[in-house]
DNA sequence: ATGCCTCAGCTCCTGAGA
């Protein structure tokens, strides 16, 4: 199975690019984040014509997540059970015998802000739920835009950005706590080019200068880890005209 | 320098993203 995650920063704008990408990169599951559209505007017909069924959870202007797959997905869950949230950030489904969670983690804006506090609460709730999901579904993939870097290797300017948003110890604590549940960072299971990032600021020629962050991750459960045969960031779509600021991350699992 | 892009929308500016 091949699975991928991509923050498209408006599906309305990026739909042609997503369809092009799927044509060149057939996958079993694609998780999308930042749809920025309401459910009634989701282009289900366009994906169906391309051979993909969809489950989606939209929201006006902000957030919004979806899962695409050529085969039916079941047991769909939207957002974190038991965590009251007015933002559409999580969609989970079973594809084959694999549980897939696509998530758009809160940005957090700035340490100490209300949005940062919400991010911490959201992360705690996610962890409680994923812990339960892992019991029910040993074969589990948690992928999406985490808005958190693991360490300095994920940051183009570790000194300049130390303790800024995406790079704080509080955020990284939560990321390590997810790992401690029995999840594994797919990308780091394989050698990668130095300075591998998944997001680059639109401003100041961030992509051209490779001033980026690795904040989009695919975590796999311990049962899946030995079956993972590859993981990579696909920088090609970032070179498109009118690109998303994020690049897709792709994992291959021998199941 | 609370900006430098990009996107949505209460659209010709503002808020948010990261």
Residues 96-155 of A with CB under 7 A from strand B: 106-107, 109, 115, 145, 147
At A41 the three-state DSSP class reads helix
Asked if A145 is an active-site residue, the reply is yes
- Is strand B in 7 Å reach of the CB of A12? yes
Spatial distance from the CA of A116 to the C1' of B2 (Å): 17
Q: What would the pLDDT profile of A164-202 be if each residue is shown by its tens digit?
A: 999 999 999 999 999 999 999 999 999 999 999 999 999
At A61 the three-state DSSP class reads coil
- Is strand B in 7 Å reach of the CB of A7? yes
Beta strands in A105-204 (DSSP E): 140-145, 183-185, 199-200
pLDDT given for residue A234 in this prediction: 98
At A28 the three-state DSSP class reads coil
pLDDT given for residue A43 in this prediction: 98
Q: Which entry of A28, A145, A216, A245 is annotated as an active-site residue?
A: A145
| Exposure letters A43-70 (e unless 16+ CB within 10 A, then b) | beeebeebebebbbbbbeeebbbbbbbe
Nearest nt to the CA of A59 via C1' is B8
Q: Which residues contact A224 (CB under 8 A, 6 or more apart)?
A: A98, A139, A140, A141, A253, A255
Intervals of chain A under pLDDT 70 = none
Q: Are A185 and A150 in contact (CB under 8 A)?
A: yes
- Is strand B in 7 Å reach of the CB of A6? no
- Is strand B in 7 Å reach of the CB of A9? yes
Nearest nt to the CA of A38 via C1' is B8
pLDDT given for residue A186 in this prediction: 98
pLDDT given for residue A140 in this prediction: 98
Spatial distance from the CA of A21 to the C1' of B4 (Å): 29
pLDDT given for residue A94 in this prediction: 98
Asked if A104 is an active-site residue, the reply is yes
- Is strand B in 7 Å reach of the CB of A85? no
Nearest nt to the CA of A204 via C1' is B4
Task: In whole angstroms, give the CA distance from residue A142 to residue A183.
Answer: 8
Q: Which residues contact A68 (CB under 8 A, 6 or more apart)?
A: A22, A27, A29, A30, A32, A47, A52, A53, A54
Spatial distance from the CA of A60 to the C1' of B16 (Å): 13
pLDDT given for residue A188 in this prediction: 98
Task: In whole angstroms, give the CA distance from residue A69 to residue A52.
Answer: 5
- Please state, in angstroms and as integers, the Cα–Cα distance from residue A105 to each residue in A28, A145, A242, following that order: 23, 6, 23
Closest CA to A67 of A33, A16, A19: A33
Chain B: nucleotides below 7 Å from protein CB are 4-9, 16-18
pLDDT given for residue A192 in this prediction: 97
pLDDT given for residue A110 in this prediction: 94
Nearest nt to the CA of A41 via C1' is B8
pLDDT given for residue A92 in this prediction: 98
pLDDT given for residue A29 in this prediction: 98
């Amino acid at each position: 199975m091949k699975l991928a995650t991509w923050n498209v920063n408006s599906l309305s704008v990026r739909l042609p690019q997503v369809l092009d990408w799927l044509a060149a990169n057939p996958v079993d599951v694609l998780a999308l984040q930042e749809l920025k559209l309401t459910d009634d505007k989701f282009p289900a017909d366009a994906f169906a014509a391309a051979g993909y069924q969809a489950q989606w959870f939209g929201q006006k202007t902000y957030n919004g997540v979806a899962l695409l797959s050529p085969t039916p997905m079941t047991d769909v869950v939207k957002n974190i059970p038991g965590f009251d949230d007015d933002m559409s950030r999580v969609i989970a489904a079973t594809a084959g015998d694999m549980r897939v969670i696509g998530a758009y983690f809160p940005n957090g804006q700035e340490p100490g802000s209300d949005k940062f506090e919400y991010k911490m609460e959201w992360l705690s709730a996610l962890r409680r739920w994923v812990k339960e999901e892992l019991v029910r579904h040993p074969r589990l993939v948690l992928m999406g835009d985490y808005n958190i870097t693991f360490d300095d290797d994920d940051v183009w300017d570790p000194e300049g950005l130390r303790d800024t948003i995406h790079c704080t110890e509080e955020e990284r604590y939560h990321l390590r706590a997810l790992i401690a549940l029995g999840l594994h960072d797919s990308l780091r299971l394989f050698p990668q080019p130095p300075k591998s990032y998944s997001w680059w600021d639109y401003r100041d020629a961030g992509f051209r200068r490779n001033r980026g962050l690795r904040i989009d991750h695919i975590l796999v459960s311990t049962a899946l880890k030995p079956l993972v045969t590859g993981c990579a960031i696909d920088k090609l779509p970032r070179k498109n005209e009118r690109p998303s600021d994020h690049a897709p991350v792709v994992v291959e699992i021998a199941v």
